[in-house]
Chains A and B, each alone.
Chain A
Amino acid sequence: MAERERRLTPPYGGVFVARTRVMTAEDMQRATKRMAHEIIERNHGLDEVVLVGLQTGGIRLAAQLAEALRLIEGYEVPVGCLDVAFYRDDIGLRPVLPEAVTDIPGDLDSRVVVLVDDVLFTGRTIRAALDALTDYGRAKAVQLAVMVDRGHRELPIRPDFVGKNLPTRRDEAVDVTPDGVDLGEMIK
């Protein structure tokens, strides 16, 4: 699970112990390239596309997707970052603090926003991100790209571009690093 995601599930913290490597760094590169192609195909080019990475796990993936898009189309898409701390529905239930300042490039009106995160789990972060985006303008469409979809959705949210579908148990943890994706447990 992403650094952030991992702290959001009880017991809020602990140490991640990896059990299986499910994606290597090369697997992630290939998945990123494929997702880049899918984004171009779906949007008939990149004219209206803006990538928005979610703090903290989505930031690196958003940058890698932008680089892959540049290599394919020779065009640099705007990349922003979004911290959803103030929009979470569990404020008051667990510690919440933003990791970084939100930075949305330009006006989102009539742009296609591709939200980027590393792991899609309950969908609550994406719900908060959708709320946050509406405060920046009326995007023409919002799409979702994630490296790992681990299931266990609690809201009607689904990704548009997925690196890997990974069946998990609820109590397992997924860790995404530059070296690869690991499945394991959080040990308190």
Chain B
Amino acid sequence: MTRVVANPRHGDLRNLLSVADLGPDVASGINRVLTLTDSFVEVSERAIPKVPALKGRTVVSLFFEDSTRTRLSFETAAKRLSADTMNFSVGTSSVKKGESLRDTIETIEAMGVDAIVVRHASAGVPLQIAQWANSAVINAGDGWHEHPTQALLDCYTIRQNLGDLAGRQIAIVGDIRHSRVARSNVAAFSALGAEVTLVAPPTLLPPSLEGWPVKVSHDLDSVLANTDVCYLLRMQRERMTEALIPSLREYTATYGLTERRADLLPGHALVMHPGPMNRGVEIAANVADRPNAVVIDQVRNGVAVRMAVLFLLLGSGIEWGGEIDA
């Protein structure tokens, strides 16, 4: 990967494009974000959940793909740091009139922004933008590639409920092949020492798993008893038309977290989902409402984690690889 020139403003970490960007030692980079997140969770619990840390900075969200929670989460995070936010949604923009990506970026940059939060259906677009832009670029999901802030908030939620991730058994269930969440989470979970098992039908696994630090299973029932975290991915309905699974009903029968299967999980085990959930498909409606389903915690923590990422990129001035020095 082409490394972008060092941040002219401060330390090493200029962009967050993938989990690997969190430093030469990914685990310590993740832990640094999670530690900082504790402070922002406290901020979010206050009567006035706002600090002046990024006053005068501008964060623009550039979403070429639909998203509610990620866009709102970043926007809330930026506002709680007192940054100004701008929204760019493709439907109402000049992209519709045929403007190129590069022109769009240059136009936005000319208005003087400090960070660009990007989501795009094609992998690599955030990297491309990072090479053009002077502002910090945060990947909010690119194609099947990565969604690093999702991985960070998932790590935070697991740590909050179960403590250290080292040695934990995490099953990621569902459409791994098309999932950027799975890719970021495999990288983050395994960096923190958790053991990841991918559970999916062969058609929904990537063509090659070479180099992935994971085990693979096609039998969810046998995995569940020895699982600390059951991480379900959204079953996208359009996959059915691609004939990757016979039917949603059959998928639910073999890979859905039904009530019977949820009972196989150990008492402490968490059920997680990046949202939006298809109740009745990958997760049974009342399993999603059980106390060990922490989907709402994930959303809540998402704001604090993104505050931490924005603060690290725009405000802290710390050297990413270096020691914490203040």
A: residues with CB less than 8 A from B are 4, 7-8, 12-13, 83, 85-87, 91-98, 100-103, 131-132, 135-137
Contacts and interface: CB of A to CB of B under 8 A. Distances in A.
Nearest to A89: B52
Contacts of A85: 39, 53, 326
B39 A101 contact: yes
B42 A103 contact: yes
Contacts of A95: 10-11, 316-319, 325-326
A97 B318 contact: yes
Contacts of B11: 95
Interface of B: 9-11, 36, 38-39, 41-43, 46-48, 50-54, 81, 311, 315-319, 324-326
A83 B326 CA distance: 11
A12 B11 CA distance: 15
A87 B326 contact: no
A100 B10 CA distance: 23
Nearest to B317: A95
A100 B326 CA distance: 11
Given A135-B46, A137-B47, 12 more contacts: A86-B43, A86-B52, A87-B51, A91-B316, A92-B317, A95-B316, A95-B318, A96-B318, A98-B36, A100-B39, A101-B42, A136-B47
A86 B36 CA distance: 11
A83 B51 contact: no
Contacts, number: 73
The majority secondary structure among interface residues of chain A is loop
B319 to A, nearest CB: 8
B38 A101 contact: yes
A131 B53 CA distance: 12
B309 to A, nearest CB: 13
A101 B51 CA distance: 14
Contacts of A4: 326
Contacts of A96: 315-318, 326
A26 B169 CA distance: 53
A186 to B, nearest CB: 14
A102 B185 CA distance: 29
A103 B325 CA distance: 22
A91 B53 CA distance: 7
